[in-house]
Amino acid sequence: MAFSAQWLALRDPADLAARDVTVLRAAAQAAGPKPLILDLGCGTGATWRALSPYLPEGTRWRLVDNDPELLRLAAAQIGPSAEMVLADLSGNTALPLEGVTLVTASALLDLVSGAWLHALVGQVKVPFYAALSYDGYMAWTPEHPQDRAVTAAFNQHQRGDKGFGPALGPDAGPRAIAAFGAAGFAVQDAQSPWQIGPDMAQLHAELVAGIAQAAQDMGLPDAPAWAQARQSQMASSSCVIGHVDILAIPATQHSKGQANAG
């Protein structure tokens, strides 16, 4: 599944504001003194923009995406410390993990299948930071009678195949926490909700249209009327869209950190 550079740019301010800073800082620390970061589904470089203020000079990035234009945009921002890997992550190919000290992903885990997640956990032996996985929560102000039905239909849609098999959708966060925990990782998690108000009118409008279309695709006939009502209130309405951030650290590295702290 690919996203346009325009959509990624539109959501970037909301993404950056939503990330949990405690988890973000911990991820940067977990990358080590000479980081080589593997960014899965890098898009235009959102993870780099969020993490780079907390990383040491000389940090290197290995960017992976299936869209050459997004790769080019991300690498152009980062500069010569960026390595581009054009690859379709939906396949069962091995990840380019050689020398990597931290694996990252933004807004990816809710698109993948349980089998894909299991394969990821089996490959990753270094800290893993995944931000902004949708968790199924939506709250709108003012409320509308169809809010609950639209949310339920949208969440059903999010569990459809996004190119990786049946998607985890809203279950991505808990499933990832459980999978990494079962593999012996110490997992830290925090909520990272979008807070969208009248000052983000274009994102709000695109979000409403996308949610309504997904709900309609799942058979909810009232979705267009819900969207029309929401659009008419855009100048004074707001919404909260739930996400979760996680950081999973291998047991050996976690134990070493505790020993050093002691």
**What domains can be seen in the chain, in order of their start residue?**
5-261 (3.40.50.150)
69-90 pLDDT per residue, tens? 999 999 999 999 999 999 999 9
- Token look-up 């008419």 returns 232
Q: Please state, in angstroms and rounded to a whole number, the distance separating the CA atoms of residues 208 and 227.
A: 6
Q: What is the pLDDT of residue 178?
A: 98
Q: What is the pLDDT of residue 92?
A: 62
140-188 pLDDT per residue, tens? 999 999 999 999 999 999 999 999 999 999 999 999 999 999 999 999 9
